[in-house]
Amino acid sequence: MSLDLLTYMFIGGSFALYIGIAIWARAGSTTEFYVAGGGVPPVANGMATAADWMSAASFISLAGIVSFIGRDGAAYLMGWTGGYVLLAMLLAPYLRKFGKFTVPDFVGDRYYSKTARYIAVICTIVISFTYVAGQMRGVGIVFSRYLHVDINTGVIVGMVIVFFYAVLGGMKGITYTQVAQYCVLIMAFMVPAFFLSMQVTGHFLPQIGLGATLEDGRSVLVTLNELSSELGFDQYTQGNKTTIDMFFMTAALMCGTAGLPHVIVRFFTVPRVKDARISAGWALIFIAILYTTVPAVAGFGRVNLIETINGPDNAGVEYTQMPSWFKNWESSGLIAWADKNGDGKVQYQAGAAFDGGKPAFIDSRGDYGERLTENASSSANEVYVDRDIMVLANPEIANLPDWVIALVAAGAVAAALSTAAGLLLVISTSISHDLMKKSINPNITDKQELTYARLAAIVAIIIAGYFGINPPGFVAQVVALAFGLAASSVFPAIVLGIFSTRMNTQGAVSGMLVGLGSTMAYIIYFKFMGGTPDQWLFGISPEGFGTVGMLLNFVVAMLVASMTPEPPEEIQSIIEDIRIPRGAAQAHAH
């Protein structure tokens, strides 16, 4: 059976499963549309949360980043996993007890202000659209290779699929779809990882294989260091990022994770506060399976890529003798070759690939990977490799069976679509519930609110598709920006709203405006207006600036709150109650 036919079967079969679940679990009320009726079992919710949280960036792009930048990629691993622990332990149970299933709903009621609600809605929509752009781009990349269409067409196909189960099923449909998607994506990530580990190191578990000794007596990491140095790259275990940028970026990813609206809402789909804690624990286990495997997949993939392209002696390989995977990915535009010296050999090393096309390690995203000092024409590098293809191309580079390649394609689509659906639901909920129902027209019926939610989801899908076709960077970079925006805007408002009875409307609103405004301004300048890395404030990249915005948010919020009236007594009592359960004081006294 051909690879194309297998791919169509795997992807088509998974689509049929997702759409079937959406129809079976179609939402019939706003409660089912927003929080799946609040009756999802903790284990299922943990699995759905893991799928919701592990986006195309986790599946497609994270191992690609680590494979190219080595040690610096640890910021993503530590930030995203640490942030989930922060959310699960610090925020989720209290938000669940407060009883508001959207971030703007919590902010609006906690700060007793429509203005605060509006700002939270804006923050939520900005974060979600920035995040969903990466997911739609991931879908386009997968389809461009495996369905033999261009990336833009792939994005449109993804939009159609998401429309079915996000607009029809709502949270109820999405939740059970995400359970299926988690099973698909984790199998698709782990099966090739087992194959690669056995092939490269002889160890079945990739987590052990990464540090194992190879036949020549060296470990995978030592081999990578030597290969990288020979080709003019920095050593794999030596990073380019400054310590301050690593710290700020990790903190932005952690706090951004804890402030992500589409993850927070998952803790309202279980029956009780206790179940929210249990489902958070299950989700962490399901997430750890993939995240502990990423460094090994990145290392194995990098070794295979270099040795395949450059040959065993690093002298290059005749283009006519390049394996089929190279030419397959060339057609998608995600890998490219230009014969600069006219010798007919493919030579991959440090430096920009070629003038006139997409240079390797594009200058505008030079905060990742190798810093370039020469122009493309003076570089000996002839190959452009888009790091977003590393996980997708890994099975082909390693000559794994066709069914494994098809499985990876289905897993990548599942990862992107599961998160995209959750984000689109958050956007539609913010508009229909937080704006229409809570602010603009409180008298609308349940049926009218559900209609608004579905219309908002349709508009959101169209806008998300546009950003998927015209993204501001590669998948994980776009997602990192979303986390920075979440860290600088809603995270401080949530933390202060739970743990400070003194925090009032004026403080929260001022903090959110300053945090979001400063972070967006920094991102826009350096990503869209030509700002260069040598202009970074204290050497902090746009991906790490969310931490600065978050600190500004905290400082401004507390300063303004100290100079303005305290919140009403009933608000202070509610905050005390969600942190200290009723009867706790009496029980302690006895």
Please indicate, yes or no, if residue 347 is contained in any of the structural domains.
Answer: no
DSSP 8-state class, residue 165: I
**How open is the CA angle 424-425-431, to the nearest 5 degrees?**
95
Please indicate, yes or no, if residue 222 is contained in any of the structural domains.
Answer: yes
Please indicate, yes or no, if residue 149 is contained in any of the structural domains.
Answer: yes
Residue 141's closest CA among 475, 478, 369? 475
DSSP 8-state class, residue 233: P
pLDDT in the model for residue 25: 62
**Overall number of domains in the chain:** 1
Strand blocks (E) in 377-468? 383-385
pLDDT in the model for residue 564: 92
Residue 62's closest CA among 248, 358, 292? 292
| Whole-number Å distance between alpha carbons of 301 and 297 | 6
pLDDT in the model for residue 552: 95
DSSP 8-state class, residue 87: I
- Determine the residue type at 270: V
CB 396 within 8 A of CB 325: yes
pLDDT in the model for residue 344: 81
Please indicate, yes or no, if residue 331 is contained in any of the structural domains.
Answer: no
pLDDT in the model for residue 525: 85
Please indicate, yes or no, if residue 572 is contained in any of the structural domains.
Answer: no
Please indicate, yes or no, if residue 75 is contained in any of the structural domains.
Answer: yes
Separation of first and last alpha carbons in the chain:
72
CA 20 to chain centre: 26
Q: What is the pLDDT tens value at each position of the chain, 590 positions in all?
A: 777 788 888 888 887 877 777 777 665 555 555 555 556 778 888 888 888 777 777 787 788 888 888 888 888 888 878 887 887 777 877 877 777 667 788 888 888 888 888 888 887 777 777 777 767 777 777 777 677 777 788 888 877 777 776 666 566 667 777 888 888 889 988 998 998 888 878 788 888 877 777 666 677 788 888 877 777 777 777 767 788 988 998 998 888 877 777 777 777 777 777 777 788 888 888 988 988 898 888 888 888 888 888 877 766 778 888 888 887 787 767 788 887 777 888 888 777 766 544 433 333 333 333 333 344 455 677 888 877 778 888 888 888 888 888 888 888 877 777 777 777 777 777 777 777 777 677 777 777 777 787 788 788 888 878 877 776 555 455 666 777 888 888 889 989 988 888 899 999 999 989 998 999 889 888 877 777 888 888 888 888 898 999 999 999 999 999 999 888 888 888 888 877 655 444 444 44
**How open is the CA angle 579-580-584, to the nearest 5 degrees?**
165
472-505 exposure pattern, b = at least 16 Cβ within 10 A, e = fewer: bbbbbbbbbbbbbbbbbbbbbbbbbbbebbebbb
DSSP 8-state class, residue 29: S
Sign, Cα dihedral of 561, 566, 571, 572: positive
At 346, is the secondary structure helix, strand, or coil?
strand
Residue 150: is it exposed, middle or buried by C-beta count within 10 angstroms (0-12/13-18/19+)?
middle
DSSP 8-state class, residue 438: I
Domain that holds residue 458: 3-33+41-300+400-470
| Whole-number Å distance between alpha carbons of 138 and 389 | 10
| Whole-number Å distance between alpha carbons of 283 and 420 | 18
**88 contacts: CB under 8 Å, gap ≥ 6:** 277, 280, 281, 283, 284
At 336, is the secondary structure helix, strand, or coil?
strand
Compute the residue count for the chain.
Answer: 590
Residue 464's closest CA among 60, 144, 104, 160? 160
Please indicate, yes or no, if residue 441 is contained in any of the structural domains.
Answer: yes
Please indicate, yes or no, if residue 513 is contained in any of the structural domains.
Answer: no
**What is the model's pTM?**
0.77
